[in-house]
Structure 1
Amino acid sequence: MCGIAGFVRFCGENKTSDTNCLEEMVQTLYHRGPDEKGLAIHHGVAMGMRRLAIIDLSGGTQPIYNEDKSIWTVFNGEIYNFPQLKKELQQYGHIFRTDSDTEVIVHGYEQWGADFVKRLNGMFAIALHDMNKKCFILARDHLGIKPLYFSFQKDRLLFGSEIKALLTTPWVQRSLNMEALAEFLAWEYTPGTATLFKDIQKLLPGQLLHINLNAPQCSPKSFWDIPLSSPLSPSLSEHEWEEKILAQVQASTQMQMISDVPLGAFLSGGVDSSLIAACMGKVQTFSIGFDDPTYNELTWARKVADHIGVEHRDEIIRPDIVSLFDQLMHFMDDPIGDFSIFPTFLVSQLARRHVTVALSGDGGDELFAGYESYLAQEKARIYQRIPAWMRQSLIEPIISGLKPSPQKKGLVNKAKRFIEGAAYPESLSHARWRLFVSDTLRENLLSPDALQQVKNPAAHHIEQLFQQAGNRGELDQSLYVDVKSYLSDNILTKVDRMSMAVSLETRVPLLDKDLVEMAFQVPENFKLSGNETKSILKKVASRLVPKECIYRPKEGFSIPIKHWLNTEFKPLMDEHLNKQSIDQGGIFQWPTIKRLKQEHSSGQANHSHILWALIVFHDWNKRWC
């Protein structure tokens, strides 16, 4: 595990300043790899890394070369099937000098060309230079577990594990991408290839960028996508599917436990993390809670830990949340508006005191239909049967007029959120319950000048992904959309950023490529059964974990942000969202922000999502743009 960065001069000539430039890029990633650094420049290609030593502690220094040093690479991540690949490549005559997983990349490329990425099972962001063929490759893992940013320009290419590495150079303009900002406010993350910088892009999950250095062009290609269902899949019974899923989860978990350093797991006491911890055996597990009982699941985590017999550590956290905000925003150069960055960072910090690697249960909700939004889509069909006059003149005004309850969820809060989501376009399907800024609110929120720069409606990327999902069932289409957007651009970004902030490697066994492909073969009615979300995975988990821990209301990993915006975070909100700064910025309309703040502070409405996204953006804008 490490952070990588570098640049390619298409003219192929080294400059005297290149070494210093590469050094500065790599230094910004120190938190990703405090153990050592590696730098090299050959024929106009500069590549460097910061290493967090996990496998082959003494021999895995990067860059790593092939036998004649014509092919070299830097790499962020882990290749879990590297022992099998190494054995196969040795049979072809390749000579290995290390025991690291990185070396299979250069020999794999020698043997199979750019198709080597299709053989990798792991999480990775790869940069590779073939000096003889004069080509350069960037590749990102199948699900987007590891980040990879790049900027393709007329005479050079820059790349890095984080945007801040690119910003150290004089070659990237810090121009705001207004279209991306509008999407960030709507969804709390920036979807697809875009970032908030016009000149910087993300390589999409499962993509490879192959550049001929004699005639450079930027045309990333997909090397993997989630396959369509096999016609044989429905012939298996639910019990048979349970057996297959359990066996694959166990195999994926055991494969991802390869490590030469201490290893543990996050444990919330929910379905996914409990299942992973149970499949690991005797390990250390970690969880945190807050002193607000509706944001505290420690009791459940302890029950699971006691049942499976692991060494468990937990803490009730009441941090200096404002100081923590300033610390975490340093890692938000590609910002997300997800509140759960705080507990994710804090549990990572707790785990890092004891281990260097932690396994996480992320991915189960997107593969096996664990979110309430999938149920909401089913209920919306029933709701639409009610006469429109009754919905519009009676039900919706009454529910909209109710004040949010102070609880995390609760019946009133659920009803209000359901009505809000149901009002959005049906083309968004389940995703409309994740949209926080409608096109109408966008028009009132953005200034006329800013609005002119926004061409696409908020729903644009979701509708594109539904088309890309192809001929699948309706639920599988929704799961496909979430894997390709919410999971990769929000959840995995959050986990990567917050764990690497404390130099902790996080692995996600449920996103093993083989398990993902299997999950999309499972019949839809085994995933969402009546009002039971994640039905088949709960049955699998309940074989290993107490049923009362599995069959309980889903809480989610969050913080009481709606309360904190009126207490601890109020000075921060007023600092960033005041009339003077809003008017000076010229991006937003103050009357709309003033109304949102007033309605939230009075308890009339819960605007925590949009207010928090605005705070995060303004802090990002001051720091980076």
Structure 2
Amino acid sequence: VGHCRLSINDLSELGSQPMTSPSGRYLMVFNGEIYNSPELRRECEAFGSVFRSQMDGEVILHLWELEGSDCLKKLNGIFAISIVDTIAKSVTIARDPVGVKPLFYSYIDNRFGFASEIAALNALGINNGGLDPTGLAQFLTFLWIPAPNTPFKNIKALRPGEMAVYTNSGFVSKRFSPVFTATSSTISGTPSDLVAEVSAKIRQAANRQLLSDVPIGIMASGGVDSGLIWAHTSKYLSLAYSISWDLIQKDSEGISDDLASARLVASKFQTKLREISGDDWDESRLPPSADLFADPAYELVRKMAIAAREDGLKVLFSGQGGDEVFGGYRRHAVARFIGSKPHFSSLFFKGLYNLFKMKPGMNISKEYISRLVLALSEGDREKGYLQLCSYSTQKDRANALGLTTAEVSDDVVYKEHLEVFAVQPPNISFLRKAMSVDLNVYLPGLGLSYVDRASMEAGIEVRVPLVDLELLKYSLALPDSVLIRRGTTKWIAKQAALAVLPPETVERPKRSFGAPASQVGSNTNNDNSRGYRQSRYFSHACQVLEKYTEKFA
């Protein structure tokens, strides 16, 4: 078992890994941070445990001796863990419930291997089985691949909240943390009461994640999510980092306006802001981790992480997860409508879509309306919602991969999303069901993944307070009326932000973090039926896949 440590808590050699338990029975390697380790440490000490270091992860070993794998349910943090039991001759691996930290494995011909990166498993010489058509089709659909699939047939991603045990008898996986779903009973209180509670929970989560023996900075998008974290931790932050688009004066997506908002927040909290140009982002670069991403945000995060490392930092905060937790995507605003539309209306919307098909150069707002009409034309409301998250049609994928449409159908690529839809409680709203899919599949598959891979390339750990486990579980009981209110997405978070951020930051239209569509791909890989922006992103995905295939086929 090997480990490459990024030392953040207890910088001494005492925190080095692999680490053995006091009895010598267990051997651990651990990647991440355990934010409630101070409380858990005191609990272990009450049972007589003696710690050798101040490294937060050591508490896992002591808990494991006391409780075994049940201790995983107590951890509030981001982690990928491996525990070797030298007596039982077993290896247990586990991934945090939200999926902030990655963990990949291969079990083929009774040979087991695991790593934080796909590239490490390939380097071990494991039989990866070659490229997986299903994983590649999902990549062309979403710009990423949902767990457990990866680009390779014999390499799998451990799902968030999942653990697996390998012994000479075989390999078994199970969940130690259930899929996140909204509760059927909601928190009571007036909207203003709930805003105050959410503000307190966000502040507590952000301060809990300040656990560090090294300086901390923040990735500043100029939006509400990173702004809330910034507001509650500003006196502890060394630097802030934001992307500038120097060669773009104005773009239809408003991405070039982000920097002005970040500057406002930096001025308010007197934080030094380092501005990093996004103009020269490398569209053709493949992650050395061997992941497949076609979202430019990966490269932009990498640029910020490199800058932070140059400045001597090891930790950055990110606002990732705010949209999934508080209902911030435009598709959330229409989820209730998708869920309540009469079944017979599908034919009407199909006809409307044919009249409203996208044309090159159509502005982003009209393009989204057209995709919404396409989603409403689906007879199945779950698949209709997923149309809003898709960048290609069955025909597009089949043409790109040289397969039949049946091999890359919506049923095939939507499998993991539909499985989460299927376990939702029947008495919660369709909005909540859709948000659960985003929280359990979309967030760990894309947002958390590209942030982790891009930052770790530069030796930077990114922390995401808005998906702190305590805050997240609390949010699942919030009523719909404070998530989407009078057509405003993420209403409760915005109300909390108005108390601590400049109003210009809170009231500006929502922007996606990434490159302007004009800077991404081309417009030649499909029939443009999904619109200008999505067609360009699909084109970029095809270009990335071509390069990836040349390297790994």
What TM-score results when the alignment is normalised by the length of structure 2?
0.91
Given that 2:394 and 2:405 are in contact with CA atoms closer than 8 Å, whether structure 1 keeps it comes out as: no
Alpha-carbon deviation of 1:347?
2.1
Distance 1:208 1:605 in 2: 38
Mapped pair 1:539 → 2:495: yes
Q: CA deviation at 1:304?
A: 1.3
CA pair 616-140 structure 1, distance change in 2 beyond 3 A: same
Q: Deviations over 1:312-363 (max 9, x none)?
A: 22233322x4xx345x403351212222212222222222222210011111
Match of 2:213 among 222, 239, 260: 260
**1:172 equivalent in alignment to 2:127:** yes
Structure 2 match to 1:612: 540
User: What is the correspondence of 1:134-173 to structure 2 with a 5 Å cutoff?
Assistant: 134-173=89-128
Name which of 468, 473, 479 aligns with 1:523. 479
CA separation in 2, counterparts of 1:517 and 1:388?
A: 35
Q: How does 1:287-436 map to 2 (within 5 A)?
A: 287-291=242-246, 292=248, 293-294=250-251, 295-296=255-256, 297-319=258-280, 321=281, 324-326=282-284, 328-331=285-288, 333-354=290-311, 355-378=313-336, 395-400=352-357, 402-405=359-362, 409=364, 411-424=365-378, 425-436=380-391
Q: Does 1:439 align with 2:394?
A: yes
Deviations 1:111-151 (A, max 9, x none): 11111111111100000111122222101001000000000
Count residues with an aligned counterpart. 540
Task: Please give the alpha-carbon distance, in whole angstroms, between the structure 1 residues aligned to 2:510 and 2:441.
Answer: 21
Does the 8 Å contact 1:252/1:510 carry over to 2?
A: yes
Q: 1:496 to 1:594 in 2, by over 3 A?
A: closer
2:451 to 495, 502, 506: 495
Tell me the equivalent position of 1:473: 429
SS state at 2:382 partner: helix
**Any unmatched runs of 5+ in structure 1?**
1-46, 571-592
Letter in 1 for 2:413: A
Three-state SS of the structure 2 residue aligned to 1:78 is strand
C-alpha change, 1:403 and 1:225, in structure 2 (3 Å) is: closer
SS at match of 1:487: helix
Q: 1:401 to 1:456 in 2, by over 3 A?
A: closer
| Greater RCO (CA < 8 Å, at least 6 residues apart) | 2
Indicate which of 45, 59, 65 corresponds to 1:104. Answer: 59
Amino acid of the structure 2 residue aligned with 1:235? S
Aligned-partner residue type, residue 52 of structure 1:
L
Return the alpha-carbon distance in structure 2 between the equivalents of residues 127 and 168 of structure 1: 19
Please state if 1:622 is matched with 2:550.
Answer: yes
Matches within 5 A, 1:575-586: none
Measure the CA separation in 1 of the matches of 2:221 and 2:403. Answer: 45
User: Per the alignment, in what secondary structure is the counterpart of residue 24 of structure 2?
Assistant: coil
Task: Output the CA distance in 2 between the equivalents of 1:102 and 1:390.
Answer: 57
Per the TM alignment, residue 161 of structure 1 is displaced from its structure 2 partner at its CA by: 0.2
Change (3 A) 1:222 1:287: same
Counterpart for residue 15 of structure 1: none
Distance 1:541 1:452, change over 3 A: closer
Partner of 1:508: 464
1:404 touches 1:606 (CA, 8 Å); kept in 2?
no
What's 1:463 paired with?
A: 418
Q: CA RMSD in A?
A: 2.6
1:62–1:397 distance in 2 versus 1, CA, 3 Å: same
Give secondary structure in 1 for the equivalent of 2:413.
Answer: coil
Cα deviation for residue 306 of structure 1 reads 1.4
Compare CA radii of gyration and give the structure with the larger one. Answer: 1
Note the alpha carbon deviations across 1:1-54, whole angstroms, 9 max, x for none: xxxxxxxxxxxxxxxxxxxxxxxxxxxxxxxxxxxxxxxxxxxxxx11111111
Percent identity reads: 28
Looking at structure 1, the residues matched to 551 and 31 of structure 2 have their Cα atoms a distance apart, in angstroms, of: 26
The 3-state SS of whatever aligns with 1:476 is: helix
Q: 8 Å contact 1:288–1:316 — kept in the other structure?
A: yes
Contact preservation (8 Å) 2:397, 2:408: no
Q: What is the distance in 2 between the residues matched to 1:416 and 1:361?
A: 29
- Kindly report which structure 2 residues correspond to 1:548-587, keeping only aligned pairs within 5 A, or say none: 548-566=504-522
Task: Report the 3-state secondary structure (helix = DSSP H, G, I; strand = E; otherwise coil) of the residue aligned with 1:607.
Answer: helix
The Cα offsets for residues 564-583 of structure 1, whole Å up to 9 and x where unpaired, read as 535xxx9xxxxxxxxxxxxx
- TM-score, length of structure 1 as denominator length: 0.81
Which secondary structure state, in structure 2, belongs to the residue aligned with residue 466 of structure 1?
helix
**Separation in structure 1 between the aligned mates of residue 321 and residue 198 of structure 2, nearest angstrom:** 14
- 1:78 and 1:123 in contact (8 A); partners too: yes
Deviation at 1:494, TM superposition (A): 0.7
1:390-426 per-residue CA deviation (whole Å, 9 max, x = no partner) reads: 7555x53443264324x6x3x4333333334334442
Post-superposition Cα deviations, 1:473-503, rounded to whole Å, max 9, x if no partner, equal 2211111100111101111101001111111
Shift in Å, 1:378: 4.5
8 Å contact 2:394–2:408 — kept in the other structure?
no
Q: Is the 8 A contact 1:278 1:308 kept in 2?
A: yes
Residues 221 and 259 in structure 2, CA contact (< 8 A), matched pair in contact too: yes
Cα deviation digits, residues 254-273 of structure 1 (max 9, x gap): 11111111111111121100
Counterpart of 1:279 in structure 2 is: 232
Q: Does structure 2 conserve the Cα–Cα contact (< 8 Å) formed by 1:65 and 1:103? A: no
1:218 equivalenced with 2:172 (yes/no): yes
Q: Residues of 1 paired with 2:40 and 2:411: CA distance?
A: 44
Partners of 1:372 and 1:604 lie apart in 2 by: 18
Per the TM alignment, residue 430 of structure 1 is displaced from its structure 2 partner at its CA by 3.0
Given that residues 342 and 559 in structure 1 are in contact (C-alpha distance below 8 angstroms), is that contact kept between their aligned partners in structure 2?
Answer: no
Tell whether the 8 Å contact from 2:179 to 2:420 is kept in structure 1 after alignment. Answer: no
Q: Is the 8 A contact 2:397 2:405 kept in 1?
A: no
Mapped partners of 1:153, 1:247: distance in 2: 48
Shift of 1:385: 10
Amino acid at match of 1:143: V
Residue 220 of structure 1: SS of its match in structure 2?
strand
Separation in structure 2 between the aligned mates of residue 311 and residue 285 of structure 1, nearest angstrom = 6
More deviation in 612-621 or 52-61?
A: 612-621
Shift of 1:102: 2.0
Q: Which runs of 5+ in 2 are unaligned?
A: none
**Using the alignment, how far apart are the partners of 1:310 and 1:550 within structure 2?**
19
Residues 493-539 of structure 1: CA deviation (Å, up to 9, x unaligned): 01001111111110000111111101111001110112100001100
Rounded to whole Å, the distance in 2 between the matches of 1:548 and 1:325 is 32
Q: 3-state SS of the aligned residue for 2:8?
A: coil
Tell me by how many angstroms 1:204 deviates.
Answer: 0.5
Q: Measure, in 2, the Cα distance between the counterparts of 1:613 and 1:453.
A: 16
Please say if residues 332 and 620 of structure 1, whose CA atoms lie closer than 8 Å, have aligned partners that are also in contact: no
Query: What pairs up with 1:85-124 in 2 under 5 angstroms?
Result: 85-124=40-79
* Aligned twin of 1:190: 145
CA contact (8 A) 1:122 1:141 kept: yes
Inter-partner Cα distance in structure 2 for 1:375 and 1:251: 28
Check the 8 A contact 2:424/2:433 in 1, yes or no.
Answer: yes
CA distance in 2, matches of 1:230, 1:397: 39
In 2, Cα distance between the equivalents of 1:422 and 1:287?
Answer: 37
Aligned-partner Cα distance in 1 for 2:56–2:129: 36
